[in-house]
A and B are shown apart, each in its own frame.
Chain A
C-alpha cells in the first residue's frame, strides 16, 4: 500500500557526521563534523551516540528558531538494544517521543509515520531522527570493538553520524509526495557478512509495489536510492528487477556508495547503518534538490532486521525496505 501526501513539506534538516564520513565524497554537505575521535568528550561510545543524536535535534530546533513546545513529536530509532541512543537522547527534550525500529530502514519508517500524522492533521511539526555509531554496531552485532579479524569483501562499514529532519505542514520548497511501507522479506540468505544480498530483495519488492501502486515507470524519478546495499547488493537489485522487467540501471545509486568512496576508503562494500541513508538524504540530496540538480527522488532505506541470537541458531535473516518520494514543489 502506498500513501500519497499533499501537505507534507521538509522544513529543514541537520546532520552530524564523524571521522570516516569527513573523508568521504559528500563531506562538505554536513552541518557539523565531530572528527577528533569517536568519543566526542564522553566516556563511553553509548554516551557518544546519545550526544550526537541529541545535539543534532537541538541544533535543528535552534536552526529553525523553534522551541521544544513547537514540535509535536520526535520519531526516532537506532541500532542499539532497546533503541537506547534515541531513548536516552530524548530525555534532554520536552517533546512527545515515538521510538521505532527498522534497523537501517528506521529513517524511512519514521518519515512514513511522520508524513501520515501531518497529512492526517494530527500534527504540524514533527522531527524524524536516527543515528548510528560504528563502534556501537560492532559491539552490538559483531565482536568486541578493538577485536580485529580478517573481513569479507561483502562486509559493509557502519556509518557514524546522526541526522534529523523537520516535517511540517507549512509550505516549503521540498515536498514528501508518497510513501510505500515495506513488507518483511526473507530469501534464505544466512550470511551476516553479506547484508546487500539479504536486503536487496526487500528493496526490490518495495520499489516494484511503489511503481505499480502509483502507475509510474522508474524514469519518473531523477534518482532512485537504496539505503545501504553496498556495491554487490546494488548489482543484485539491478539484476533482480530486470527479471521483473523493471530497469533502474540508469537512475539508481546506493547511499552507502555516496557516503564513502569505496575505492579510496577501507570500508569494503560501502556504508551501512541507519545514518547511511539519513545522512545522504539530509545533507547532499536535500541541498542538491534545492539547487535544482534533482527534481524527484525516491529514497528506499533498507534494513536487515536480524537478531544475532537467531543467526547463531542458524536461522536466515529477514529484511525490510520503506520507500519515500520527495519532489521539488512548484
Chain B
C-alpha cells in the first residue's frame, strides 16, 4: 500500500465528534477536493493526514506504516501542508520563508547543502517568485504570500501536498492562478475548498463531508448533483454539464418553491 491513507479515522474534542470514521485513499498524482460546509471536519481531516493531529481512533498510514511509527520529521519530508492563512511577525525574506521547507531535511548542525539551495531555487521558480526572493515576506500581496507558502511546501519535496482552503482570502483572479498552479504540480494533492465551481474545475475527485462523516465520493460530475448540494449545503442549485466539468448555478432562497428567504 503506497501513499497516504486515512483508515476510518475519528477525532473527538470533548463530547463533539469532529471527524467520524472517514476513509480516504489517495492515488498517485491526483487532486482530491474536500468539500463540505464550515465545521464539517475538512480541516481536522487534513491535520490528521499531516500527522499534526492524532486520530482518536482509526489510523493514518504512509506507505502502509502508521504516521506515529514513521515519525514527525520523516513525515514532513513526504507530506507538506499549506494553511489557510499564514502569518508571522518575524522579519523574513521570501527566500528564508521558502528555505523553512528544508528544515525536515537538515540536521541540527549541518550547514545548507547545494541540494537545499537547489530545492529552494526550484520551488521559487515553480511559483514564479524568483525575482522577489530577496524581498521581505511582509511586502508580498495575499496571493503572493500563499504562493510563497506553496513554494515552502514544495521545498520540502513532498509527494503529498495538503492545502486547507488556500484561496480563502484571495480575489477571483488570484484564486484561479493559485489553483492552476496547484493542479499543475507533480504531487498528489488534497485540497479543502469552499467554492464548488472551483472544485469542479480543478479536482479529479471529490470527497464530501457533512458533520464529520463522508457523505459521498467520486468525480465532480458524479458528486455535484442538485440533490447532494441541497442535502449538504442546504441550498438549491442547478447543475449543467458543460465540456469537461459540471457548472453549478445557485438559486436564490426565495426561489425555493415560494418559501421566504432565511428559512430552512
Q: Does chain A bind chain B?
A: no
Q: Which residues of A contact B (CB under 8 A)?
A: none
